[in-house]
Amino acid sequence: MTRKTGTNEANNTLWRPYRGLNDDSHFVKEWAIIEVQGELESSTGDSIGGKLIGHLIFSSKGRPILVIGYHILYGKIVENNPPLAILKRSRSSQVLSSNPAYNETVSTDFSILALVKKRITFKTRPKPIISVC
């Protein structure tokens, strides 16, 4: 990866190189996006946010398989080009003088939490899992 430092001529702002470290001094995590066709709905009407919806496994050849209830989906891994960055915004303020009109400046910093380089897509319709008893 090429690391550069310079200024943006459009607005003369300094941009810094990507260091590959997050706030916790660990290397930036790599995430993936799971993309499915259609919508995921709960049978009870509850929100599915933060709940287990299925199991993601990989075949011996590296093909992703998603099992949701009694349905199975076969997918593939696609590269995001360019990768997406997951950012965390933090704002801080600083008191500069006792004059109420000019007493505070606000700065905004962004830190990279993760990079999304891959996307796992499931484009086909789910197939029912049928077991013989």
Q: Is the pLDDT of residue 114 over 50?
A: yes
Share of the chain above pLDDT 70, in %: 70
- For 82, residues 6+ apart whose C-beta sits below 8 A from its C-beta are none
Tell me the whole-structure pTM to 2 decimals: 0.60
pLDDT digits (tens, 9 = 90+) for 61-71: 999 999 998 89
Write the CB contacts of 23 (distance below 8 Å, at least 6 apart in sequence).
88, 111
The answer on pLDDT for 8 being more than 80 is no
Pull the structure tokens for residue 85.
């960055």
Q: Which residue did the predictor score with more confidence, 105 or 16? A: 105
Q: Amino acid identity of 13? A: T
Enumerate residues 6+ apart whose C-beta is below 8 A from 75: 63, 64, 65, 66, 120, 121, 122, 123
More confident residue, 115 or 99: 115
Mean pLDDT of the residues in the chain: 76
**What is residue 64's predicted lDDT score, i.e. its pLDDT?**
94
SS3 (DSSP) at 101: helix
**pLDDT for the residue numbered 13:** 35
